[in-house]
Amino acid sequence: MPSSERLRTIESLGDLAGTRVIVRCDLNVPLRDGEITDDGRIRASLGTLRELTGAGARVVVISHLGRPDGEENPAYSLAPVATRLGELLGAPVAFAADTVGHDAEKAVAALQDGGVAVLENLRFHAHETSKDASHREEFATRLARFGDAVVEDGFGAAHRKHASVYELPKLLPSAAGRLVQAELEVLERLTSGEPERPYTVVLGGSKVSDKLGVIDALLPRVDRLLIGGGMLFTFLAAQGHAIGKSILDADGLEAARGYLDQAHERGVELLLPTDVVVADRFAADAHYEVTTIDGIESTSAGADGLGLDIGPDTAAAFAQAICGSATVFWNGPMGVFELEPFAAGTRAVAQALTEVDGLSVVGGGDSAAAVRQLGFADDDFGHISTGGGASLEFLEGKTLPGLEALGWTRE
């Protein structure tokens, strides 16, 4: 039986009418000048929240936003999130200007059946993220006063041993929300049993060393491994190519050489770029050229050239490999997608994932941000994870504290 089926779910909490339910969401959305630039994580929480309010629960939403380092900082307030949540739910959402203080007490006490209140940023309190378990337990106890049950639905924080993630579910009847259930079911399809083949993993991002665990775990399972993003230059350097001033993860060089050998020994098709986009500086208006991987230092930028995207030939080859797969997991953009001249590689990979006849998974983090910024809709893909770090740690085989607290164990 898949371990996801042994996870405590909302059904285990019984009749929730009139019950105060604390829902730990991950509403850590990007803000610019106080405006939300991507509400994907808020929308991902709606299913669970609507189910609970529809059952007559009195819902108390808690979340973190950014890294305010245990201090109150208006730049990281959840107030804009509460406003947007109310718009998406089509119903009033109360906002408490503190997390466990007088305003939170008033907001929770005023809730009616089917009502929702959002408490201020959990990370305004240092004990939320403390390494001292007694501090986390003290903060979790203060949070627990506001609920009769807890639903953990913040998958993006499930890999953190924080008070609201790990200690709080142990103090009250607790269960996983629908988002956490969905994330776990998809990730188990990638790691347990036999995924449909061909099975392709596409990895980007800047450092090989950040992906060591996931490559180690997945290399024995996949048919193809495609490498893009900044980490591609470490692989090219490992093969002896000159890479100019492109990002180099010196600590990952030996690992890259080892992966090239392992892939060959296992019969895994490891695709590296054959061409790249090289710029003379890191800027949207930089001069850039497409060159083969042998010519990175032969562009007009010379040895100062910066590789900022995969080239068009590589993008086409990657797209062909992805479209010919039955299972695809992608984590990490192919280039500096935030700058339009260097977004084509990421756009090509995203488009290819929309055409997969099977399971296509966008592994959260920058990849999720990229597909939305580039104009793709969430339902263009089989699944967009809300947790980049949590997804990678799960794929590496690590135990996630947020799942462990809900009774989940890895088979």
pLDDT tens-digit series, residues 160-219? 999 999 999 999 999 999 999 999 999 998 987 688 999 999 999 887 888 888 899 999
pLDDT over 70 at 411, yes or no: no
d(CA 179, CA 49): 10
DSSP, collapsed to helix, strand or coil, labels residue 110 as coil
| pLDDT > 80? residue 140 | yes
Enzyme catalytic residues: 41, 207, 365, 389
Which residues are within 8 A (CB) of 189 and not within 5 positions of it... i.e. 6 or more apart? 195, 327, 359
- Determine whether the annotation assigns residue 123 to a binding site: yes
Higher pLDDT, 391 or 21: 21
Answer whether residue 5 shows pLDDT above 60.
Answer: no
- Least confident interval from 329-333, 363-367, 391-395: 363-367
Which residues does 365 contact at the CB level (< 8 Å), separation at least 6?
A: 331, 332, 387, 388, 389
Q: Does pLDDT of 6 surpass 80?
A: no
Could you count the other beta carbons within 10 Å of the beta carbon of residue 148? 16
pLDDT digits (tens, 9 = 90+) for 315-345: 999 999 999 999 999 999 999 999 999 999 9
Is 307 assigned a ligand-binding role in the annotation? yes
Cβ pair 298, 170 in contact under 8 A: no
Report whether 8 belongs to an annotated binding site: no
**Long-range contacts (CB closer than 8 Å, 24 or more residues apart) made by 232-239:** 232/204, 232/272, 232/273, 232/276, 232/307, 232/310, 233/307, 234/207, 234/208, 235/208, 235/259, 235/260, 235/272, 236/272, 236/273, 236/293, 236/296, 239/272
At residue 156's C-alpha, the angle toward residues 9 and 84, to 5°, is: 90
Judge whether 325 is annotated as a binding position.
no
Look at the block and give the residue holding tokens 């050229």: 289
Contact between 78 and 65 under an 8 Å Cβ cutoff? The reply is yes
CA distance 201 to 191: 12
Query: Tell me: the pLDDT tens digits for 214-251?
Result: 899 999 999 999 999 999 999 999 999 999 999 999 98
Tokens of 173: 């009847």
Under a CB-based contact definition with an 8 Å cutoff, are residues 383 and 182 in contact?
yes
Q: What is the pLDDT of residue 169?
A: 97
Question: Strand 288-292 vs strand 275-279: parallel, antiparallel, or unpaired?
Answer: antiparallel
- pLDDT band at residue 102 under the 50/70/90 scheme: very high
- Residue 47 three-state SS: helix
For residue 401, pLDDT beyond 60: yes
* Distance from C-alpha of 304 to C-alpha of 301, rounded to nearest angstrom: 5
AA identity, residue 397: G
The region of weakest confidence among 53-62, 142-151, 217-226, 357-366 is 357-366
41-87: pLDDT as tens digits: 999 999 999 999 999 999 999 999 999 999 999 999 999 999 999 99
Which pLDDT belongs to residue 81?
98
Distance between CA atoms of residues 372 and 393, nearest Å: 23
pLDDT in tens, 292-313: 999 999 999 999 999 999 999 9
Average of per-residue pLDDT across 346-365: 94
Phi, psi of 32, deg, nearest 5? -135, 115
Work out the mean pLDDT of the chain and round it to a whole number.
94
Name the one residue in this structure whose structure tokens are 């580039």: 374
Q: According to the model, what pLDDT value does residue 1 have?
A: 40
Residue 23, pLDDT above cutoff 70? yes
CB-based contacts of 208, cutoff 8 Å, min separation 6 = 215, 231, 234, 235, 249, 252, 253, 255, 256
CA distance 167 to 394: 20
Give residues with Cβ within 8 angstroms of 139, minimum separation 6. Answer: 100, 125, 127, 128, 130, 163, 164, 167
311 known member of a binding site:
no
Residue 406 marked ligand-binding: no
| Whether the predicted pLDDT of 2 surpasses 50 | no
The answer to whether 372 is annotated as binding is: no
CA geometry: angle at 185 spanning 179 and 187, to 5°? 100
Residue 303 has a pLDDT of 95
64 marked as part of a ligand binding site: yes
